Structure 1
């Protein structure tokens, strides 16, 4: 009898052990599945909050150098500025002390032209061929104005001040011809400068647009000798 009891007790113990082992395995599998993000959470378990995903950001193309250089406002519709200049009005490539600042309205504040560094007494030249439309004094300042040939109707008109004119109204001038001598600018720009303006009709424009790239950047091309090459 005692042997039979022992056998029965061992069978019950083995069944309980097998059942516990199976339950532990199932619980382990459930925990693994829950940790991976699928299935219900086991009793008493709490899932750690996941880090918020970064919002999608649209990638914009890098700004090109050309776009960063196009800061000067474009001429108004129908107002074209051909690059007809063949010389700077003073010097070879003078420093621009103050650039063109178009006013927001016809009578608003702004800078209707550019100031070029130059000393009083410097010769002032016509930047392109044309005809003198005015040479005289306005509010005590000497002014020379030249209508540029072949620039439409009404033609483009350049202005130079303060200048003591050496030409008269109606005179034809060529590109680079001296039209006057620079006078002292007073408080306008300290050590001296030429105020260079550009108009078409009553519309003020940026006079630097008259300059072709070779003149605006480096000056005219030059032929250089080729060394160590035998001549024919």
Structure 2
């Protein structure tokens, strides 16, 4: 009887030691959820951190990432080309496939140094100065929602000041002799709503985009 009782006591002690070791050696539960924020294309941002796109095209803060293009409505409020009557487009709008992908966030319009640069639509000058040694003018367009559409022109020597109200076709500066990224001289014209870049040509109505030669129509009595 004593032998059987000793066997039972030893068996219970072994089970107790095994359970205790299992609890102590088990890995701790995770402190955070598995996934935080995933950017399409496989890029991951850390919430709270600042993310800067290569090339300095845009800056996203606090974990927000600016996506060029997207479903951003653009009203046709434009009433003038930034330069000339209908300047050649040296390079068009090329939205990148991913946030950090290659592309062209705007259009390049052929323009010689000293060419007047005009506001395409009514608005308020949000910025007029130099960024990284390059002259930039930015205009918030009137009546285009919240946040308003903002169009930019560079490289430009500004002839207006921040806060000034401008009308369509009003001269806001002249093309700089330096700072252009084109092989030939040009003005880079950009458009965005908040952090989303969109095609600035969408501002212009069809009659301004595709102006053809004038025709005289017959007059009937």
Q: TM-score range by the shorter chain?
A: 0.5 to 0.7
- Verify the 8 A CA contact 2:69 2:196 in the aligned structure 1: no
Structure-2 residue corresponding to 1:108: 101
Structure-2 residue corresponding to 1:178: 171
Pick one of 73, 85, 95 that aligns with 1:80. Answer: 73
Q: TM-score scaled to structure 1, two decimals?
A: 0.61
Higher helix share: 1
- Verify the 8 A CA contact 2:134 2:154 in the aligned structure 1: yes
Structure-1 residue corresponding to 2:139: 146
Greater C-alpha Rg = 1
Deviation at 1:110, TM superposition (A): 1.1
Pick one of 112, 118, 130 that aligns with 1:125. Answer: 118
Task: Tell me, in whole angstroms, the C-alpha distance in 2 between the residues paired with 1:187 and 1:160.
Answer: 11
Per-residue deviation, residues 45-98 of structure 1 (Å, max 9, x unmatched): xxxxxxxxxxxxxxxxxxxxxxxxxxxxx9523x20011100000000000000
Matched, 1:134 2:162: no
Deviation at 1:189, TM superposition (A): 1.2
Matches within 5 A, 1:1-232: 76-77=70-71, 79-186=72-179, 188-218=181-211
How many corresponding residue pairs? 154
Q: TM-score scaled to structure 2, two decimals?
A: 0.64
Indicate the SS of the match to 1:218: coil
Per-residue deviation, residues 105-154 of structure 1 (Å, max 9, x unmatched): 33322111000001000000000000000000001100000000000000
- Verify the 8 A CA contact 1:90 1:116 in the aligned structure 2: yes
Higher strand share: 2
Task: Tell me, in whole angstroms, the C-alpha distance in 2 between the residues paired with 1:161 and 1:113.
Answer: 11
Gaps of 5+ in 1: 1-73
- Verify the 8 A CA contact 2:180 2:186 in the aligned structure 1: no
Deviates further, 81-90 or 105-114: 105-114
Task: Tell me, in whole angstroms, the C-alpha distance in 2 between the residues paired with 1:187 and 1:210.
Answer: 23
